[in-house]
Structure 1
Amino acid sequence: MSRVLVTGAASGLGAALVARFVADGHQVLGTDVAEDGGTSYLKLDVRSPADWDAAVAWCEDNWGGLDILVNNAGIATGGRIDVETLDEWDRVVDINLMGVVRGCRAFVPLFKRQRSGYIVNTASAAGLVHPPMMSSYNTVKAGVVALSETLSHELRPYGVDVSVVCPSFFRTNLADSIQGADSAMGATARQLIEKSPRSADDIAAVVVAGIKKKRHLIIPDRPARMAYLSKRFARPLYDRQMRKVAERARQRAEAKDG
C-alpha cells in the first residue's frame, strides 16, 4: 500500500486518479484550490510555496512520509502568438510549469531522505508534438516533459523514479479553465475536449497501469501515440499536417476579420 498525494484532485483526471488509487487500496491525499474537499483532502494552490510546505508537513505528520507525488493540477490555454496576452502566458507558466517545479522542489528533500519515492508529472501530448495556435500550452507542457526527464536521471541515485503523462484530448471540465484574448482558439479547444471519445477514467486506468510498471513516458491513448510516432519517424508527413492546420486557421481568421 502506497501513500499518494494528487494535486488538482477535485475534478477531471485528478479525481479519476484518486478513485483508481483508492480502489487499489492506497492511502490518498487529494489536494486542490478549494477550501474544503471532504476527508483525505488538503487545500493546495500549486502557486503557493507555503501551501506546498504545509503539504509536506501533513504527509510527514500523518503518514511519516510519501511514496507517490502526482503533480496533476493545470489549466487549459492557448492562442495565436500575436493574440494571446503576456498576462495569459504568465498565468499558464505559473500554474502548469512552475506549479510542477514547486511540487518537485517541496518533496524531493523528503524523497532523498527516504531514499525512495515516485514523482508523476501530468504533461500532455502537446509536450511532445506542437500544433499551431497553442504556443503557451505547448511550451509549458514541453517544459514539464523536459523537467521530468532531467529528474529521472538526477534522482535515480536516491531511489526516486519519475514518470511523465502525455495524453491527447479527453472529456473533462478542463475546458472551463479556458480564458483569454483568442476566443476562436478557445472555442476550438473546448470542442476538442468535449467531443473526445475518451473519458478521464479511461486515461486514469492507463496511467495507473503505467505507474505500476514504472514507465517513464506514459502516453495513454492512441491519438497521442500516433502523433508522437509520426513526428519521430515520419517527420515530413507530420510537418505537412501541422501546416494544413495552420492554413485552415489562417483562412478562418481572415474570413472572420474580413
Structure 2
Amino acid sequence: MSRRVLITGGASGLGLALAKAFAARGDQVLVGDLSESRPDSVPGDTAYLRLDVRSQQDWDAALAHVRETWGGLDVLVNNAGVATGGRIDVESISDWERVLDINLLGVVRGCQTFTPMLKEQLSGHIVNTASLAGLVHGPGMSSYNAAKAGVVALSETLGFELAPWGIHVSAVCPAFFRTNLHESLQGKDTAMEETALKLITKATMSADEVAETVLKGIDRHKKVILTDRLGRQAYWTKRLVRPAYDRVATQAGQKLARKSRDA
C-alpha cells in the first residue's frame, strides 16, 4: 500500500537517498529543503516544497500542503541537519545556537506541527534522524552530541507518549557515511572540522546503503535504527561493557588534548 511521506532535508545526502528509496517502493514523497525552487537533485517522481526547519511559518505551510494534497500523512522524516564540531573552549555560543536550532528544535517543530494530524488519524510514523553521536559521546563534539542525544531522548519520549494513538516513533542513528554533510561545517574549531571531514569523506558506507537499512527499520517499527556494524558495536559496548567504552573515550580525549597542546 502506498504511503504518504514527508522528508526534510531531502534534496541531498541521506534525505535524498531516503526520498529515492521510498519512491522506488511506490510511495508518494514530498521533499522539503531550503531552496526556493525545486533542486535538480530531487527526482521528478517526488514533490518539492521550500521548508526551512527553523521557520514555523514554513512548517505551517507544509502542514497545509499535506492536508490539501493528501488529506493526511503516513511517515514524517525529520532528517534536516548540519554538521558541527568543536572543543568546549573553542566553539562559540552562536555555533551552539545554530546546531541546536536546526538539529534539535527543527525536529521538535516537525513533531509538534504534525502530531495533531497523526492523532486525528490514529496512525503514523515519525522518523527522526539522530546519529551514533546521540548514543555515544566522543570528545570534541559536545554541541553535535548534545543535539543528537536530544533527538534520541525526544524520540524515546514520544514513542511512549504517542503509542496510545497508534503512532510509532523511530530514531535513526548512523555512524559516518559518505554524504555532503561536511559542506555545512562553519565553526571556529577548524582542527575538529578537519577530522570530521576525513571521517565523512572516507567512510565506507554510502547514503543509499544507509537508507536501505533505515527503511527496513521503519518497516519493523524499530525504536532505534542502527545502520552499521560500527554503530552496533559502540552502542552495545557502552551498554554492556561500560569500562571498555570509558577507556576508549578517555584515550580519545587524551589524544585530542595532545593535538590541542601541539597546535
Quickly name the TM-score band, shorter chain normalised. Answer: over 0.9
Name the counterpart of 2:12: 11
* Structure-2 residue corresponding to 1:28: 29
Give the gaps of 5 or more residues in structure 1.
Answer: none
Q: Is the aligned partner of 1:158 residue 2:165? A: yes
Match of 2:211 in 1: 204
Partner Cα distance (1:227, 1:179) in 2? 28
**CA distances 1:128-156 after superposition (whole Å, capped 9, x unpaired):** 00000010000000000000000001001
Aligned residues: 256
After TM superposition, give the deviation of residue 248 of structure 1 in Å.
1.0
Query: What SS class does the counterpart of residue 25 from structure 1 fall into?
Result: coil
Q: Which digits, 9 at most, give the CA deviation of each residue in 1:74-126, with x for residues without a partner?
A: 00001100000000000000000000000000000101111111100000000
Q: Name the residue aligned to 1:55.
A: 62
Once the two structures are TM-superposed, the CA of residue 250 in structure 1 deviates from its matched residue by: 1.0
Amino acid at match of 1:235: R
Corresponding position of 1:105:
112
In the TM superposition, 1:105-124 aligns within 5 A as: 105-124=112-131
Residues in 2 aligned to 1:34 and 1:158: alpha-carbon distance in whole angstroms: 34
Letter in 1 for 2:35: A
Q: For residues 91 and 76 of structure 2, what CA distance do their matches in structure 1 show?
A: 32
Matches within 5 A, 1:175-190: 175-190=182-197
The answer on 1:146 being equivalent to 2:153 is yes
Give the AA of the match of 1:23. Answer: A
Higher deviation after alignment, 184-193 or 33-42? 33-42
Distance 2:253 2:119 in 1: 45
What is the identity, as a one-letter code, of the residue corresponding to 1:103? G
Where do 1:85-100 residues align within 5 Å? 85-100=92-107
- Percent identical: 57
For residues 175-216 of structure 1, the C-alpha deviation after alignment (integer angstroms, 9 at most, x for no partner) is: 010111100000000100000001000100000011011111
**Counterpart in the other structure of 2:82:** 75
Q: TM-score, normalised by structure 1?
A: 0.98
The answer to whether structure 1 residue 174 and structure 2 residue 181 are counterparts is yes
In structure 2, the gaps of 5 or more residues are none
Q: Is residue 217 of structure 1 aligned with residue 224 of structure 2?
A: yes
Counterpart CA distance in 1 for 2:226 and 2:37 is: 32
Name the CA distance, whole Å, in 1 between partners of 2:22 and 2:125.
14
* Structure 1 residue corresponding to 2:259, chosen from 243, 252, 258: 252
Equivalent residue letter for 2:183? D
Distance 1:209 1:156 in 2: 20
Residue 155 of structure 1 aligns to a residue whose secondary structure is helix
In the aligned structure 1, how far is the partner of 2:32 from the partner of 2:98?
20
Shift of 1:163: 0.6
